[in-house]
DNA sequence: TATATATTGGAACGATCAGTCCACAAACCC
DNA sequence: GGGTTTGTGGACTGATCGTTCCAATATATA
C-alpha cells in the first residue's frame, strides 16, 4: 500500500563512505553527500536522520567491507602459517600500487578518530578495539608463521608488526614512501626475525 | 617615534599553539585565538595576516620548542650510547604521566597533516622530513647503542623504532594504553634485540 | 480511482565561519 | 602640545554550515 523503496540504503552508505573517506567528516558537506549518493537532501535526512547518521552507516560499511575481510584470514580458526606474510604483502602491494583508497587516504577510522576533532567517544572506542584486534590477529599470524618462538617473543613481534601497520596507515596519505618503507621493514622482520646475526649471515 | 610594541609575537604564537594543538586547525575559530593570545582580532590580523599565518607561527614554535629539543641528543655530533634508550624512556614517561600535551594530544604535525584536510602540501612536506629525520636520528641512536650490529640490522632496528614512535604519537589522543604498549615494546626491542633465542634465555 | 507511502525540490532558519574596515584610545617621539 | 605608530572594539560582509519544513510528484496497493 504505498510506493516501494527505490534506493538501497547500503548503496547510499557505500557512496557516502567514499566521500567521508576522502574528505573526512567535518570537511564533508551535505551537498557533497547528495551528489555522491544521488539522493536528495530530504531523503538523506529521512533515511539517516542526520549527517552523523549517514557517517555511522558509512563506518559500518567500512568495517564490514574493508577491515574485516582483510583481517579475516588471521582470525580464522586455523591460521595458515604464511597468512601473516600474505596479509602484510597484500597491504604493501595496495600501498605501492597507489590506486586504492587505502593507499591514498589511509585508514578511515584512524584518520577520523585521531583527527583533533575526533567526533566522539564511541568512535575512539572503535579505534581502541581496532588496535587490539589488529595486534591480536597479527600475533596469531606470527604464531602460525613461527611456531618455534616462545610466547613472549611472539607477542613482541606481533606488537611490532601491528605498530608498523598503524604507522603505515597513518602516513599513507602524507608520506607514501615512508609507509611502504615501514611495511617492507615489517615484512622483513617477519620473514627473517634474526637473519642477521651479530657476526655475519643467517642462522635459518 | 610612535607607540612601542606591547605584546611579543612569540608569546602569542605559543598561546595559539596550545589552542591549535588542542583543537586542530579547522576546528579552531578566530575568537578562540583572541581569547588564548589575549590579542584583539585586529591585532591578530595585523601581526599574522591570517589565521593560517598564526598557525604557521605556532608550528614554528612547536618545531623549535617541542620537537627539536627532544630529538637533539640523537643528532649531536657524538651520540651517547644510551641516548636512544633515554629518548624512548622519556617519551614513555611523558605518555604514561599523561599531564603533558604530547601525551594527551599526540603530535601536532601528525595530527594536522594526516587529518583528511591536511591544509596544504608544505605541511605534508614537513611531516615527510619529520619522519625521515626521526628515523635517521633513531638509527644513529641504535648505532650508538649497538655498535656491534651490521649496518643492515641497525637500519632495520632504526626503522622499527621510529615506526613505534609514529604509531604511538598517532594513537596518543585516542588510545593511550596502546601508545604506551608500543613504546614499551620498542624499548624492549632496543634494550634486548635478541634476548630471547628460539630455545631459551639470553645470549647477551 | 482512492489512498498510502517514497522521494524530491527548494525555500528558509539560525548559527558560525574567516576576513575587512574604521573610528578611537594608548603610548611613544619630537 | 602635535605627529606617529600600536593596539582595540565592534560592526559588517559574504559565504557556508547542518537542519527543518512543506508542497509537489511518483509509484505502489486496494
Q: Tell me the pLDDT of chain A averaged across its residues.
A: 89
Q: At what angle do helices B121-145 and B68-75 cross, to 10 degrees?
A: 40
Whether A195 shows a pLDDT value over 70: the answer reads no
Portion 22-41 of B in contact with A at CB < 8 A: 22-27
Kindly list the protein residues whose beta carbon lies within 7 Å of any strand C atom.
Answer: A 1-7, 38-43, 46-47; B 1-4, 28-31, 41-42, 45, 50-52
Q: Check if A192 contacts B (Cβ < 8 Å).
A: no
Confidence category of residue A202, pLDDT binned at 50, 70, 90: very low
Cell (9 digits) for B154: 641497525
Q: Which nucleotides of C are covered by protein (CB under 7 A)?
A: 3-11, 16-23, 26-30
- Give residue A180's pLDDT: 94
Q: Do A132 and B174 touch (CB under 8 A)?
A: no
Average pLDDT on A66-79 reads: 91
Whether A193 shows a pLDDT value over 90: the answer reads no
ipTM score of complex: 0.85
| Between B150 and A2, residue with greater pLDDT | B150
Average pLDDT on A98-126 reads: 88
Q: Nearest nucleotide by C1' from A8 CA?
A: C6
- Give residue A192's pLDDT: 80
Whether A72 shows a pLDDT value over 80: the answer reads yes
Task: Indicate if CB(A72) is under 7 A from strand D.
Answer: no
Per residue in A7-64, pLDDT (tens digit) is: 888 999 999 999 999 999 999 999 999 999 999 999 999 999 999 999 999 999 999 9
- Give residue B195's pLDDT: 59
Task: Indicate if CB(B50) is under 7 A from strand D.
Answer: no
**Exposure of B70 in the CB half-sphere (CA atoms within 13 A):** 20
Q: Which residues of chain B have pLDDT under 50?
A: 196-204
Cell (9 digits) for A85: 606474510
Kindly list the residues from chain A whose CB atom is less than 8 angstroms away from the CB atom of residue B204: none
Closest by CA position to B161, among listed B125, B130, B180, B188:
B188
B193 vs B182: CA distance, rounded Å: 15
Pick among A25, A104, A109, A116 to test the B interface (most B CBs inside 10 A): A116
Whether A189 shows a pLDDT value over 50: the answer reads yes
* Domains defined along chain B, listed by start: 8-64 (1.10.10.60), 76-193 (no CATH)
**Exposure of B65 in the CB half-sphere (CA atoms within 13 A):** 16
Are B24 and A115 in contact by the 8 Å Cβ rule? The answer is yes
Q: Nearest nucleotide by C1' from A34 CA?
A: C8
A20-24, A76-80, A119-123, A200-204: segment of lowest average pLDDT: A200-204
Q: Do A194 and B194 touch (CB under 8 A)?
A: yes
B88 vs B116: CA distance, rounded Å: 29
- Give residue A203's pLDDT: 41
B131, B149, B175 ranked by CB distance to A171: nearest: B131
- Give residue A201's pLDDT: 40
Amino acid at each position: 500500500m504505498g510506493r516501494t523503496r527505490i534506493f538501497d540504503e547500503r548503496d547510499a552508505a557505500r557512496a557516502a563512505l567514499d566521500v567521508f573517506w576522502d574528505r573526512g567528516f567535518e570537511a564533508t558537506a551535505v551537498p557533497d553527500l547528495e551528489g555522491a549518493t544521488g539522493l536528495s537532501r530530504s531523503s538523506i535526512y529521512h533515511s539517516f536522520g542526520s549527517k552523523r547518521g549517514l557517517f555511522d552507516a558509512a563506518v559500518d560499511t567500512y568495517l564490514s567491507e574493508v577491515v574485516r575481510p582483510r583481517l579475516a584470514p588471521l582470525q580464522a580458526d586455523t591460521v595458515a602459517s604464511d597468512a601473516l606474510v600474505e596479509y602484510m604483502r597484500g597491504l604493501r602491494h595496495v600501498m605501492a600500487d597507489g590506486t586504492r583508497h587505502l593507499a591514498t587516504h589511509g585508514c578511515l577510522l584512524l584518520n577520523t578518530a585521531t583527527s583533533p576533532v575526533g567526533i566522539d567517544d564511541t568512535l575512539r572506542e572503535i579505534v581502541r578495539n581496532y588496535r587490539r584486534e589488529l595486534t591480536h590477529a597479527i600475533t596469531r599470524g606470527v604464531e602460525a608463521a613461527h611456531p618455534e618462538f616462545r610466547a613472549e617473543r611472539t607477542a613482541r613481534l606481533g606488537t611490532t608488526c601491528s605498530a608498523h601497520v598503524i604507522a603505515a596507515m597513518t602516513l599513507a596519505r602524507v608520506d607514501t614512501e615512508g609507509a611502504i618503507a615501514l611495511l617492507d621493514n615489517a615484512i622483513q622482520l617477519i620473514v627473517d626475525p634474526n637473519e642477521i646475526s651479530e657476526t655475519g649471515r643467517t642462522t635459518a
